[in-house]
Amino acid sequence: MKYRWLGWFFLVGNTDGKSLFFRNAVNYYFSKYIKADIEFYSCNSLDDFLKYNIIETIVKLNSKEIKLPIYPIVKSTEYDSLNKYLPKNCQQAKLLENYSFNLHKKNPKYKLYKEILINDFGMNKDLIEKYGINE
């Protein structure tokens, strides 16, 4: 439940990422609620999706007070600046999201994401295609 509230706050409260109030609030919520959980993020549920967005906001704020764990990049993409702060399964979730988005927009980039998901993450081709259809 805390991540649903935090996700809402990070989404709605970030009208101006440079506001001192928002930056201070992010630092506070990070140290009080997020820091202890961050190494266990899995990106397998709605709450985990919210966690991904929270991490994305923290990375964009570039707060010197917040130290995030750094993970190896499974396959380099344009999302490396964010993905390096996310475990493998969260990197996979981001690629699935981009695969689906680009597939529906008929952007040929979806083929690259599909190839990475199959070759570097070991995902089943049919499962990836099913994900793209169901989104």
Residues 56, 79, single domain; the answer is no
Residues 59, 79, single domain; the answer is no
Residues 87, 33, single domain; the answer is no
Amino acid at 130: K
Residues 109, 54, single domain; the answer is no
Residues 6+ apart with CB under 8 A from 64: none
Which residue segment(s) compose the domain that 45 sits in?
Answer: 1-69
Residue 112 pLDDT greater than 90, yes or no: yes
| Boundary residue ending a domain (42, 69, 96) | 69
| Boundary residue ending a domain (15, 36, 69) | 69
Residue 105 pLDDT greater than 80, yes or no: yes
Name residue, tokens 């070991």. Answer: 122
Residue 122 confidence class, pLDDT cut points 50, 70, 90: very high
Residues 87, 126, single domain; the answer is yes
Residues 64, 77, single domain; the answer is no
Residues 78, 122, single domain; the answer is yes
| Boundary residue ending a domain (49, 69, 89) | 69
Residues 85, 44, single domain; the answer is no
Residue 11 pLDDT greater than 60, yes or no: yes
Name residue, tokens 């695969």. Answer: 99
Task: Please check whether residue 49 is in contact with residue 93, taking contact to mean a CB–CB distance below 8 angstroms.
Answer: yes
Q: What is the pTM of this model?
A: 0.77
Report the pLDDT averaged over residues 35-49: 75
Residue 134 confidence class, pLDDT cut points 50, 70, 90: low
pLDDT digits (tens, 9 = 90+) for 75-96: 999 989 888 988 888 888 889 8
Q: How many CA atoms lie within 13 A of 13 on its CB side?
A: 20
- Provide the greatest CA pair distance for the chain: 47
Residues 78, 65, single domain; the answer is no
Structure tokens at 4: 């649903």
Residues 64, 80, single domain; the answer is no
What percent of the chain is modeled with pLDDT above 90?
Answer: 30
Residue 22 confidence class, pLDDT cut points 50, 70, 90: confident
Domain count for the chain, please give it.
2
Residue 49 pLDDT greater than 90, yes or no: no
Residue 108 confidence class, pLDDT cut points 50, 70, 90: very high
- 3-state SS, the chain, equals CHHHHHHHHHHHHCCCCCCHHHHHHHHHHHHHHHCCCHHHCCCCCHHHHHHHHHHHHHHHHCCCCCCCCCCCCCCCCCCHHHHCCCCHHHHHHHHHHHHHHHHHCCCCHHHHHHHHHHHCCCCCHHHHHHHHHHC
Residues 28, 88, single domain; the answer is no
Q: Give pLDDT, residue 16.
A: 63
